[in-house]
């Protein structure tokens, strides 16, 4: 078999006459042309290219074997156009590796095995066109793009983008170690192998470290918020949980009665709002849809500016005094003890303003 050039300028293999036992006689024209282009690209990169090179023990046969000018390095280029499984390709790649030979698998259409081993999808030019053979799948670069999502990540989002390149350039990059096979973690159990520059691998690793740190901080913040929420819920329900149910119902009813009597309008209790941090564990009392009073807030957690204008409802003299000692001047504090005894009279106290 020998190489020829068609009238359209396409290189191809031609069988010598009288060679019925040629090992390449059963190969398709696509396969012949692909190997020829690979060999041409290898030679253009300054390496030697041999066709159909076998291992000494016959464990592999390279379509194109590239050898460096000093003879130290070898790399196999396989034109894989016939059906094959991922496991078969991995096994064949392992056999090459056992003899110190790296390999790149080249196909002309999308295959399920592309990415399972170092591989690319090449494209042949249309007949009569001035286009060159190119590589469209299997080569990539890492890029960081600004975040346009609701999360507004401060460092953006990292992703691998496909790179298109002439086949000759791709082969030269590989043989010159400008790009190397890099294994990416995929969403499934498989891994995807991509040809990329070492600099992009470093950028991806650095970005992944930043992403892990950001995720760890976000997870820690979410945990802290859950703990605070739990603490707020626990504190909010603390006095209600330890108080006997019957007494709690009477106290809440007394708070509603007092608010209706004091305002002259209907009142309701905001049980669904009790966990709101601004109530400090107290139970809000609403009149005409607006907060009117707060029942038994935790004095040590109260932000008094949040309760400005609201009446603080307490039970017992000790609780009333504790609120009076902490609350701002003129905060209205009402002891509901009398209302619990069904007497419509409350013990009310206003903290006086400080003496001038």
DSSP string, 70-93: TS--EEEEEE--S---HHHHHHHH
* Residues 6 or more apart in contact with residue 176 via CB below 8 angstroms: 45
pLDDT of residue 65: 97
Name 329's Cβ contacts closer than 8 Å, sequence gap at least 6: 351, 352, 353, 354
Q: What is the pLDDT of residue 26?
A: 61
Confidence of residue 340 (pLDDT cuts 50, 70, 90): confident
Which span out of 47-56, 179-188, 268-277, 346-355 was modeled with the highest average pLDDT? 47-56
Beta bridge pairs of residue 268: 286
Q: Tens of pLDDT along 17-59?
A: 544 444 555 678 889 999 999 999 999 999 999 999 999 999 9
- Bridge pairing between strands 347-350 and 180-185: unpaired
The C-alpha atoms of residue 117 and residue 92 are separated, in whole angstroms, by: 10
**What is the Cα 106 distance to its own chain's centre?**
31
Compute the distance between CA of residue 310 and CA of residue 329 in angstroms, rounded to an integer. Answer: 13
Residue written as token pair 């056992």: 98
Q: Is 297 helix (H, G, I), strand (E, B) or coil?
A: coil
Residues 6+ apart with CB under 8 A from 30: 81, 108, 124
Query: For residue range 67-113, what is the model confidence (pLDDT) as tens digits?
Result: 999 989 999 999 999 999 999 999 999 999 999 999 999 999 999 99
Mean pLDDT score across all residues of the chain: 84
What is the CB neighbour count within 10 angstroms for residue 231? 12
Q: Which span out of 111-115, 301-305, 345-349 was modeled with the highest average pLDDT?
A: 111-115
Report percent pLDDT > 90 for the chain. Answer: 51
pLDDT band at 224 (very low <50, low <70, confident <90, very high): confident
Give the per-residue pLDDT at 11: 52
pLDDT, tens digit, 9 for 90 and up, residues 151-208: 667 778 889 999 999 999 999 999 999 999 999 875 444 568 999 999 999 999 999 8
Residue 17's φ and ψ, nearest 5 degrees, are -65, 145
The answer to whether residue 301 scores a pLDDT higher than 90 is: no
Q: Is residue 3 predicted with pLDDT exceeding 60?
A: no
More confident residue, 353 or 261: 261
Given a cut of 80, is residue 60 above it in pLDDT? Answer: yes
Task: State what percent of residues in the chain have pLDDT above 70.
Answer: 82
């Amino acid at each position: 078999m020998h190489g020829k050039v068609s009238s359209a300028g396409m290189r191809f293999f031609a069988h010598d006459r009288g060679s019925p036992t040629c090992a390449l006689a059963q190969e398709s024209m696509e396969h012949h042309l692909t190997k020829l282009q690979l060999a041409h690209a290898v030679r253009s990169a300054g390496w030697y290219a041999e066709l159909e090179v076998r291992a000494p023990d016959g464990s592999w046969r390279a379509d194109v074997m590239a050898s460096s000018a000093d003879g130290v390095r070898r790399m196999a280029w396989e034109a894989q156009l016939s059906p094959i499984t991922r496991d078969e390709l991995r096994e064949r790649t392992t056999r090459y590796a056992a003899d110190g030979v790296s390999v790149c698998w080249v196909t002309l259409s999308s295959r399920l095995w592309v990415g399972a081993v170092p591989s690319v999808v090449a494209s042949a030019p249309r007949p009569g066109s001035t286009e060159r053979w190119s590589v469209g799948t299997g080569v990539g670069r890492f890029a960081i793009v600004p975040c346009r999502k609701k999360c507004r990540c401060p460092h953006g989002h990292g992703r691998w983008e496909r790179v298109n390149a002439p086949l000759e350039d791709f082969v030269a990059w590989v043989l010159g170690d400008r790009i190397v096979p890099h294994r990416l973690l995929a969403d499934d159990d498989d891994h995807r192998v991509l040809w990329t520059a070492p600099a992009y691998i470093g950028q991806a690793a650095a970005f992944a470290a930043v992403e892990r740190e950001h995720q760890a901080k976000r997870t820690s913040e979410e945990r802290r918020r859950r703990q605070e929420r739990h603490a707020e819920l626990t504190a909010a329900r603390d006095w209600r949980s330890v108080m006997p149910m019957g007494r709690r119902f009477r106290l809440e009813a007394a708070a509603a009665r007092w608010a209706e009597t004091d305002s002259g309008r209907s009142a309701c209790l905001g049980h669904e709002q009790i966990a709101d941090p601004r109530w400090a564990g107290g139970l809000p009392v609403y009149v005409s849809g607006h907060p009117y009073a707060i029942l038994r807030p935790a004095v040590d957690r109260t932000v008094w500016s949040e309760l400005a204008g609201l009446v603080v409802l307490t039970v017992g003299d000790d609780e009333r005094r504790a609120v009076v000692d902490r609350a701002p001047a003129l905060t209205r504090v009402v002891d509901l003890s009398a209302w619990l005894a069904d007497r419509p009279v409350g013990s009310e106290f206003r903290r006086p303003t400080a003496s001038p």
